Structure 1
Amino acid sequence: MRSAAASATIAGVTEIRVLTDDAQYRAHNTLFRRAMHWGPPTDDQWKLTQPSYEDGRVHAAFEGDTMVGSTQSFASTMVVPGGAKVPHAAVSRVGVRADYTRRGVLSALMREQLSTLPDPVATLRASEGRIYGRFGYGLATRVRFLRVDARKAAIPGAMTGSVRMLDPDTAEKTLPDLHTAAGLGRPGQITRWQGWWVRAFDRTGDSNNLVTVVHSGLDGDDGYVSYKVSEDKDFKHHMEVEDFVAANADAWRDLWIYLTRLDLIDTIEVDAALDDPLAWLFEDPRVVYTKDVFDQVWLRLVDVPRMLAARTYGQAAPVVVEVRDKLLPANDGRYRISPEGAERVDAAADITIPVDLLGAVYLGDTRFSDLAAARRIEGTRFDEADALFASPVAPLCSTFF
């Protein structure tokens, strides 16, 4: 990948620049918010947002001196199948002014951002499902939105550990390290940057009335849950779980015992992985209702050889996968995938796949055979490829950005 440049000229209209100061960052944030049909940030909102702007990671499109498009990334790391952690770019604040859409501005921004990223993989949350496939992003994780009927939720037995409630000052000091230690157990999970935590601990906005409870097991702190409770016009109390981290099954079970034994709670809503066994905790599994299953992160393999080498593979005969990447042609090539790893080869391909769909199968959420059935990829030996890329647990990214 080529090194970052101060700017890049796009034929006809747009110049892509790397922004460098707070005034530019605030204009960037205003443009993005306008693209989302929100008003510009107030002074208080900007005070919370400013720490999330990182030098070298903020791109904007200009026509002359007029900013017409925005994108940025946050430096992070991602867990891949097998447990390795790789440098990762959390891409966000992607927007184009309404009077400049359909003119190649977004394509120019995506091309420049991806070609200059220092990280081998990027993910984003897509506002619309049809936008990002053409830039090499594939739908890589999905999430279940669950509702628990707390009035009927009975978990047999007692806790195996203990819980303690944190005051806001202690939570602010404790949670970042605890999340890093206990919250990265699944493929797709990412570390959180300083600006993320600034917003999470804002006591004047979304985190007002937030309660945090930490779990301790035999080896010390190994999980936590943060939640808010609201009351409706019928005096029913509804809990929203904002953050749930558990390093092991005991912490997971004990935290749910705590939540479901609280007084004055009628319902609990939580986001969960596709394979989360929550219903099996309860004497009546019907107390857990799946409201929806929705796409979560879209994954872009920026450096395909490095990312294929970073993860582990299941037991199956080797398969040669040919990757095609229109935006980053250095990724084009054939890769032999085996239980021992991945390497570039000149052998004939068993499967041909575009880079966006390779991103979709990379974490194990989607199978090659499903893509073949949908006529999205070509080749043979899809069952072996499924076994090689399978993950023993469903991927998830519980950090919203």
Structure 2
Amino acid sequence: MTDIRVLTDEAQYRAHSTLFRRAMHWGPPTDEQWAVVLPSYEPGRVHAAFDGDEMVGTTQSYAGSMVVPGGAVVPHSAVSRVGVRADYTRRGVLTALMREQLSTLPDPVATLRASEGRIYGRFGYGLAGRVRYLQIDATKAVIPGSPTGRVRMVDPDTADKLLPELHDAFALDRPGQISRWAGWWARARDRKTEAENMVTIVHSGPDGDDGYLCYKVSEVKDFKHKMEIVDFVSSNADAWRDLWIYATRLDLVDTIEVDVALDDPLNWLFEDPRVVHTKEVFDEIWLRLADVPRMLAARTYGTAEPVVLEVQDALLPANSGAYRISPDGAERVDAAADITIPVDLLGAAYFGDTSFSQLAAAKRITGGRFDAADALFASPVAPRCSTFF
């Protein structure tokens, strides 16, 4: 029988890290790597599955907050390091881990990044937000006009202090965005490996610092260089435009790679929109409504006649039931349902990235009045997270 335990000490954390890495086909962490990883382990949020004394599965969460449609910010768990030892897969280990983690979660919502798209729907996670991966031809990227503010390059120590402040102030600007925890920033500060060549540019406008850009440049071959934008935060259109002017006018850069929200207007910044190429649209946010009543009440809704949703949640049955959604909010009711929907697909529709009509057309949900539900759950902006974990 699988036994789920909360881990408490560094030796257990290192075993947890090793098992997860092996599940991802990576080797165990070196001493140097472990020194970087250790601060990202949060006491009370690290679960492992055991068969006797053997650790056979892992999961973990990080405490933070998340923006929902309408701008409210709710407590959030970022779930990561989910893995099962190869000789224990398909034996219920992951189900036991997910059930225990979700049933004891202190936050009403969780998100994760899925290594495989088929895994997490059965645990109530729905694909709620996608991202657009872009490649920009910097040799032809012309932005008309001049900058309106000022940009400056900052040293790593200054970046360590300033970037968390700017992210907290400006980055929680659309549904799906999450706060960053201390362990996330601790890993971001590591400059001994992939972050060694990181450059940070800070933008200042009339009211002070209002955005930043972090990037790395690598030589592809024969003096051809690629810029990878790792982090981009701006509080207003002028800061956004000025930072892009800096990036596209940098010498010895031929291509720029970045990921953005589906509705990002970047193409229209350039004289020739064709300099921006969409390489891929891929899933980003997998959302789990751990407390359905609280999360339905947290967001705002569009204009339409009320709709009653019958929510089904096999893993957390307390969530199951009927909810009346109206422009005034959401409430639990004892009423006949217009739409019956499993909790993973409610998560998929929560930010408005997926519509009820689409789910109905695919025969994933049943009922009617899907147009009204679409209008109620619609969001004027596409969801985006921009924080990988």
CA deviation after TM superposition for structure 1 residue 160, in Å: 1.6
CA deviation after TM superposition for structure 1 residue 266, in Å: 0.2
Which runs of structure 2 are paired with 1:165-314 in the superposition (5 Å)? 165-314=153-302
Q: Deviations over 1:199-226 (max 9, x none)?
A: 1111111111100111111222111110
CA deviation after TM superposition for structure 1 residue 233, in Å: 2.1
Opposite residue 286 of structure 1, the aligned amino acid is R
Q: Percent identity?
A: 79
Opposite residue 285 of structure 1, the aligned amino acid is P
Please state if 1:106 is matched with 2:70.
no
Q: Deviations over 1:139-198 (max 9, x none)?
A: 011000000000000000111211111100000010001101111101000000111111
Q: Deviations over 1:351-384 (max 9, x none)?
A: 1100000000101111000000000001111111
Q: Deviations over 1:77-99 (max 9, x none)?
A: 00100111100000000000001
**Distance of 1:206 and 1:306 partners within structure 2:** 40
**Distance of 2:202 and 2:74 partners within structure 1:** 28
Q: CA RMSD in A?
A: 0.7
Which runs of structure 2 are paired with 1:63-212 in the superposition (5 Å)? 63-212=51-200
CA deviation after TM superposition for structure 1 residue 390, in Å: 0.7
Structure 2: segments with no counterpart, 5+ residues: none
Secondary structure in structure 2 of the residue aligned to 1:51 = helix
Indicate the residue corresponding to 2:26 in structure 1: 38
Please state if 1:53 is matched with 2:56.
no
Is contact 2:223-2:252 (8 Å) kept?
Answer: no
Opposite residue 384 of structure 1, the aligned amino acid is A
Please state if 1:338 is matched with 2:335.
no
**Distance of 1:222 and 1:339 partners within structure 2:** 34
CA deviation after TM superposition for structure 1 residue 232, in Å: 1.7
Opposite residue 288 of structure 1, the aligned amino acid is V
**Distance of 1:177 and 1:322 partners within structure 2:** 42
Opposite residue 253 of structure 2, the aligned amino acid is I
Opposite residue 297 of structure 1, the aligned amino acid is I
**Distance of 1:177 and 1:80 partners within structure 2:** 21
**Distance of 1:328 and 1:232 partners within structure 2:** 49
**Distance of 1:248 and 1:354 partners within structure 2:** 38
CA deviation after TM superposition for structure 1 residue 303, in Å: 0.1
Secondary structure in structure 2 of the residue aligned to 1:353 = strand
Opposite residue 186 of structure 2, the aligned amino acid is V
Please state if 1:379 is matched with 2:332.
no
Q: Deviations over 1:325-348 (max 9, x none)?
A: 000010011111111110011121
TM-score (norm: length of structure 1): 0.96
Secondary structure in structure 2 of the residue aligned to 1:189 = coil
**Distance of 2:369 and 2:149 partners within structure 1:** 47
Opposite residue 103 of structure 2, the aligned amino acid is S
**Distance of 1:60 and 1:92 partners within structure 2:** 12
Q: Deviations over 1:93-148 (max 9, x none)?
A: 00000011111000000000000000000000000000000000000110000000
**Distance of 2:60 and 2:125 partners within structure 1:** 16
Secondary structure in structure 1 of the residue aligned to 2:163 = helix
Secondary structure in structure 2 of the residue aligned to 1:296 = strand
**Distance of 2:328 and 2:336 partners within structure 1:** 19
**Distance of 1:276 and 1:199 partners within structure 2:** 28
Structure 1: segments with no counterpart, 5+ residues: 1-12
Q: Deviations over 1:304-330 (max 9, x none)?
A: 000000011111111111101000010
**Distance of 1:233 and 1:264 partners within structure 2:** 12
CA deviation after TM superposition for structure 1 residue 234, in Å: 2.4
Opposite residue 132 of structure 1, the aligned amino acid is Y
**Distance of 1:354 and 1:218 partners within structure 2:** 49
**Distance of 1:194 and 1:232 partners within structure 2:** 34
Opposite residue 286 of structure 2, the aligned amino acid is W
**Distance of 2:306 and 2:149 partners within structure 1:** 45
Please state if 1:316 is matched with 2:304.
yes
Opposite residue 34 of structure 2, the aligned amino acid is W
Indicate the residue corresponding to 1:351 in structure 2: 339
**Distance of 1:273 and 1:151 partners within structure 2:** 24
Number of aligned positions between the proteins? 389
| Selected match of 1:25 from 13, 16, 20 | 13
**Distance of 1:69 and 1:155 partners within structure 2:** 50
**Distance of 2:230 and 2:71 partners within structure 1:** 25
